[in-house]
Amino acid sequence: MPPSIPASDFAELAPAAALPPPVRRHRSALRTVLSLPSGRLGALLTLATVTTAVLAPLLATRDPFALVAAPLLPPTIAHPMGTDAIGRDLLSGVVHGARTSLLIAGSVTLLAFVCGALVGMTAGWRGGLLDDVLMRITELFQVVPRFFLVVVAVALFGPGLDRIVLTLGLTSWPVLARVMRGEVLAMRELDFVVAARASGATTTRILWRELLPNVMPSAAVLLGLLFGQAILVEASLGFLGLGDPNAVSWGLLAGQAQGFLRVAWWLAVFPGLAIAAAVLGTNLLADAWAGVIAGGATDAGSS
C-alpha cells in the first residue's frame, strides 16, 4: 500500500546506499556549520544565551524581585540596565529571565521531539493502515492554533510554567513527525537496515540504534526552529500577562514595560534584545545546519 503522504523534501535528499557512521558524519557536518559566518554567529549567540542562563546567580547576584533602588533609574554603573517601575534591577531580571525562557523552550522542544519521534518513526516503519491513522491524527494536531490553545489553557487552569510547556509541547510535534516519517520511509530499505534485519536485530533496536541517528540531522533543523518559536510564544504570553507571575521571564519584563515606553526606553529594549539574540542564534544555527546537510546529501547523490 503506498504511503498516504509523500516523503518530505529532507527525505528526498537521503542517499540511496549505505550511510557512513552517523557520529563521524555529524562531527564533520558540525565543523562545516561552524566554518560558516552564519553558523559561527548563531553558535556565539546561542552559547552566550545558554551561558547566561547557567551562570545567572553569578552574573546577577541581586534577587530579580528585590527592590534595590529608586524607580525608573536609567542605566548607570551600579545598574547597567537601569531599574523598573518599582525599583527592581533590570539586569537581574534579564539574566534570571534567561533561565525561565530557556527552561520553557527546552522542555517544549524535548516533549515535541519525543512525541514526533514516536509517531513519525512508527508510521514510517510500519506503513499501511497504522501509517494512515497516525498521519490523520498528525494532521488534526497540525491545524490546532497553538497560541490560542495556550491562552485558553491558561484562562481555564491558571498561569503556570507546567501548563505552558504541556500545551505547547503536545501541539508542536506534527511537522517533526512528518519529516521523521519521510526519512524513515526513505531509509528503511537501505543496506544497513537490511543488514540489521538479517542479523536478527529487533524492531526497537533498528529504530533507535540504526535509523534514529541517521534521521537526527534533519530533525535537528526543525528542533532548532521549534526552540526559537517556543521562546517567542513564551515571550508573547508574558507580554500579555498570561505567564507565570512567580517566575521572571523576558516576556514578563517586556509586558511590564508597556506603560513606560516614552519615559523609560530601557525597560523594553534590553528584554527585547535578549529575546532577539536567543531566537536569532537558534535560527541561524538551524539554517546553517540545513544548508550543510542538504549540500552533503546532494553531493552524495551526485557521486
Q: What is the pLDDT of residues 132-176, one digit of tens each?
A: 999 999 999 988 888 888 888 888 888 888 888 999 999 999 999
Q: What share of the chain is helix, strand, coil (3-state, %, to 5)?
A: 70, 0, 25
The listed range with the strongest mean pLDDT (7-16, 24-33, 272-281, 289-298) is 272-281
Distance, CA of 25 to CA of 19 (rounded, Å): 9
Fold of 37-302: MetI-like fold (1.10.3720)
Q: Which residue has the higher pLDDT, 27 or 250?
A: 250
pLDDT at residue 22 in the model: 59
| pLDDT (0 to 100) of residue 54 | 94
Mean pLDDT, rounded, for 25-40: 83
Q: List the chain domain ranges.
A: 37-302
CA–CA separation, 120 and 128 (whole Å):
13
**pLDDT band at residue 225 using 50, 70 and 90 as cut-offs:** very high
Query: Mean pLDDT, to the nearest integer, of 238-260?
Result: 88
pLDDT tens-digit readout, 74-108:
999 999 999 999 999 999 999 999 999 999 999 99
pTM, rounded to two decimals: 0.84
Q: How far is 238 from 249, CA to CA, in rounded Å?
A: 7
